[in-house]
Chain A
Amino acid sequence: MKTPNAILEPRGELKLDDYIVDIAWSTDTTRLAVAGGEGKVFLAKRSESALEAREVGQHGMGTLAVAWRPGGSAFASSGQDSRITLFDAEGALVAQQRPSMNWTTALAWSPDDQRLATATGKQISLWAPSLVLEHALAPLASTVTALGWDKPGRDLAAAMNGGLVVHRVEPPRFQLRHYKWPAPCLTAAFSPSSRFLATGTQDGTVHFWHLSTGRDSQMRGYPGRVDGMSWSGDSRYLATAADEQIVLWDFGGKGPEGSRPLQLRGHTDRVECLAFQPGGNYLVTGGRDWRLSLWLPGKATTALDAQLTVAEPTCLRWSPDGRFVAAGERNGRLSIYELVRVV
């Protein structure tokens, strides 16, 4: 069998004046919203020949998240100044909210483009696309650390200390289900198939639930907190990082329980970020070894390609069409790569 191959072709880079915390692609892949750790919000425009960016906003003490509206023409940002801000596709300020003095740490547009979910302390709020409050859900028991929608945009999962809480969002009803796990949960990720819900914890475990039965399983053995995870497009693999290794749980066949995970080795220092291609099975990872690696788990055990960065990678985001990867670095470098199949 011939090993499939692909590489990452550089498609432009620029240096922003801030640590890159988060990146969000526009649906048409021509724009990116970029969050800076010191508080700047940038809008970058990408064309075949150029990549340019300008500062469009500020969040006092640090930007925490950016999220592009799936429907196209707007993006939201939040920061340590407690504000949630809505910009249009040209970077003009459209609306602003300040739900409380707390940080809004998570922003998640529903995939059906109906609403924006935000997590501010223990409070989850749902906003109409114009950033008008649609519904403030009852505060949860602990601070929400992450939000994740299922693919249809019907179920919203929130991670917190003590497990995950899923709201079924069918306004005016907001039905609640608890997935308890006594640990500080850091991520909330539905599989694209909506069959599984996974979380990574501060305690160094991955925990997931079979949504049809409610059965849950715990995957141990991580040396530290698991604060990043990504599902492959076919929902077969859940990728996580354990120091310099990439650990993939195989949900094919009988599932990952009791089996040894797939381990991909190649990074020589802690893997900081990872992301599966949307709708596909290519995986990109970024490590403290200042390297971005491209993998095709299950088909090849070594990296297909690697690109060196000039500082520690902090954020990796695929474009919604799975064609491009944007990488952010600690020193503010933003670089774009195109996934190119090699025959």
Chain B
Amino acid sequence: MATIDRIPVTVLTGFLGSGKTTLLNRILSENHGKRIAVIENEFGEVGVDHQLVIGAEEEIFETNNGCICCTVRGDLLRILGQLLKRRDKFDYIIVETTGMADPGPVAQTFFLDDDFKQQFLLDAIVTLVDARHIEKHLDEMKEPGEQVAFADVILLNKTDLVGKAELERIERRVRAINGTARIFRTQNANVPIDRVLDVGAFDLQRALALDGSFLEPQYPFEWAGVYQLAAGQHTLRTGAEAHVHHHHDHHGHAHDKGLGLVVLPVAAATEQALAAAIEPAVRAFAEEAVTVTCGGSLKATPALHAIDVNYEGSHFVVDVAAAGAHAIFCEHAPAEFNLRVEGAKPIVQRAFASHHHDEEISSIGISDPRPLDPQKLNDWLSYLLKSRGADIFRMKGVISLKGEARRYVFHGVHMMFDGQLERPWAAGAARQNTLVFIGRNLDRQELEAGLHSCLA
């Protein structure tokens, strides 16, 4: 019996103008020793010698298991079938989708059929993001968000066309949609080839390579600093040092409701005192915010303010009743708004992992050390796939099953699911369930409750 190495496949998505063709040309012209077959939605200009370029006419098929999200690409099915007939002639496949393509049917095509699963290995979905236009695209259309959500690797491209603060904001927004993808900032899609090919994102053997911060506890704020403030009024400023008008193209969507800010008296200007203030701050952030417009005042009490920042510069009054250390908890990093207290510097400061956002599409990471019951897990995942398959774009997990020495690893695209027991847990290391869901309208509490129902 012949053993067959699976052919790795990279799916390239990204909105029109994001730089897909630039990246593709770079990959094809670089000396990486691979023979690459390219499947394109249109016959493009790509035509490097000894590379195979095949045109496809997008055709979406629903499969017959009664779920509307289980769509595959009929054109891809046919082309892949043909490519198998010349598999000795290439080592790698790149599928370049059109700007408006939904990555779901493309990815699902590789899971549809056991034979395809044996022959092809979906290596990664790589999404290019046009840094200059992504915010507008995310606000106006659904495809760009889906392309970001499906990605294993995101190239935040054309970074030379946006400012630093803008780039921070964009990356944060992209990160809010997709908590697990590797994000690279690029110009001219210039990224080392090994970041986009042979990534192994779908390879269960390589398990879950996550951005560690994604699974840290989540806070509704990203930054806190402790200031020593005298009693009386202090001025909090944002924006430019002087009132200079900037011609930036800002889409202040994330701050339409104002920038969330809490000011709290703390015991001392120390890290311990700041840590002790986290809990009251989290509670304050859960409250209804009081909107404060430019020139208005903020109280040093556990209350959430939504300050109306604008990029040209705004100022607020902080009322301090008693002199001492005060912590300011801020929804976003202060650098982005050039937020500062006049005449004072933070003595202690700390950044927090935050996935607080307004996106319809988001990522939820759950971890829990307690072992799970295999049957209960199976029932829950089946239920989840059936009831929420259309909304869950991607899911991945490493599971600690009761009485099982090996890690159970799975990943899924919509309702297509692949899971297996793989290498044993490291001796002495803590076993931990780690699950990540990326999708639309995800409910963390519902997912956590579901996981808890699987405890052995």
Where the two chains meet, the residues of A that have a C-beta atom closer than 8 Å to any C-beta of B are 19, 21, 37-38, 61-62, 64, 80, 101-102, 105, 121, 142-143, 145, 161, 182-184, 201-203, 205, 223-225, 227, 268-270, 288-290, 312, 314
Contacts and interface: CB of A to CB of B under 8 A. Distances in A.
Contact of B61 (A102, A161, A268): A161
Give me the 5 closest cross-chain CB pairs, A-B, nearest first.
A37-B85, A183-B64, A203-B64, A224-B114, A184-B61
B115 A183 contact: no
Given A143-B59, A182-B64, A183-B64, A290 B78 contact: no
Given A80-B54, A143-B59, A202-B61, A290 B115 contact: no
Contacts of B61: 142, 161, 184, 202
B114 A19 contact: no
Interface in B106-123: 112-115
Contacts of A201: 64
29 contacts: A19-B85, A38-B89, A61-B54, A62-B85, A80-B82, A101-B43, A121-B57, A142-B59, A142-B74, A143-B57, A143-B74, A143-B75, A143-B78, A145-B78, A161-B59, A161-B61, A161-B74, A183-B64, A184-B61, A184-B74, A202-B61, A202-B72, A203-B64, A224-B114, A224-B115, A225-B115, A288-B2, A289-B1, A290-B2
B247 interface: no
Given A202-B77, A268-B1, A290-B2, A183 B63 contact: yes
A314 B63 contact: no
B399 to A, nearest CB: 25
Contacts of B64: 182-183, 201, 203, 205
Interface in B1-52: 1-2, 43, 52
Given A161-B59, A203-B63, 15 more contacts: A19-B86, A19-B88, A37-B85, A38-B89, A61-B52, A121-B57, A142-B59, A143-B57, A145-B78, A184-B77, A202-B63, A202-B72, A224-B113, A227-B81, A270-B115
Contacts of A202: 61, 63, 72, 77, 112-113
A205 B64 CA distance: 10
Interface in B59-86: 59, 61-65, 72, 74-75, 77-78, 81-82, 85-86
A241 to B, nearest CB: 11
Nearest to B86: A37
A137 B112 CA distance: 32
A101 B78 contact: no
Nearest to B63: A203
A184 to B, nearest CB: 5
Contacts of B77: 184, 202
Contacts of B86: 19, 37-38, 62
B346 interface: no
B65 A203 contact: yes
B82 to A, nearest CB: 6
A36 to B, nearest CB: 9
Contacts of B43: 101
A145 B79 CA distance: 12
State the main secondary structure of chain A at its contact with B: loop
A19 B84 CA distance: 10
A36 B345 CA distance: 75
Nearest to A21: B85
Contacts of B55: 101
Contact of A269 (B1, B62, B89): B1
Contacts of A61: 52, 54
B85 A314 contact: yes
Given A183-B63, A205-B64, A225-B115, A102 B85 contact: no
Contacts of B52: 61
A184 B71 CA distance: 11
B82 A64 contact: yes
A280 B114 CA distance: 33
A281 B113 CA distance: 31
Most chain B beta-carbon neighbours within 10 Å: one of A145, A184, A223: A184
Nearest to A184: B61
Contacts of B57: 102, 121, 143
Nearest to A160: B74
Contacts of A182: 62, 64
B414 to A, nearest CB: 16
Most chain B beta-carbon neighbours within 10 Å: one of A37, A64, A182: A37
Interface string B195-235: 00000000000000000000000000000000000000000
Contact of A225 (B75, B88, B113): B113
A288 B2 CA distance: 7
Nearest to A181: B64
A268 B64 CA distance: 29
Nearest to A287: B1
Interface in B174-189: none
A183 B113 CA distance: 14
A227 B114 CA distance: 13
Nearest to A222: B114
A133 B64 CA distance: 36
B2 to A, nearest CB: 6
A175 to B, nearest CB: 26
A61 B114 CA distance: 27
Contacts of B78: 105, 143, 145
Contacts of B85: 19, 21, 37, 62, 314
Contacts of B62: 182
A64 B78 CA distance: 11
Contacts of A101: 43, 55
A312 B82 contact: no
A227 to B, nearest CB: 8
B89 to A, nearest CB: 7
A104 B64 CA distance: 26
A142 B54 CA distance: 19
Most chain A beta-carbon neighbours within 10 Å: one of B1, B52, B64, B82: B64
Nearest to A63: B85
Nearest to B85: A37
A62 B85 CA distance: 9
Most chain A beta-carbon neighbours within 10 Å: one of B54, B59, B86: B86
Contacts of B115: 224-225, 270
Nearest to B75: A143
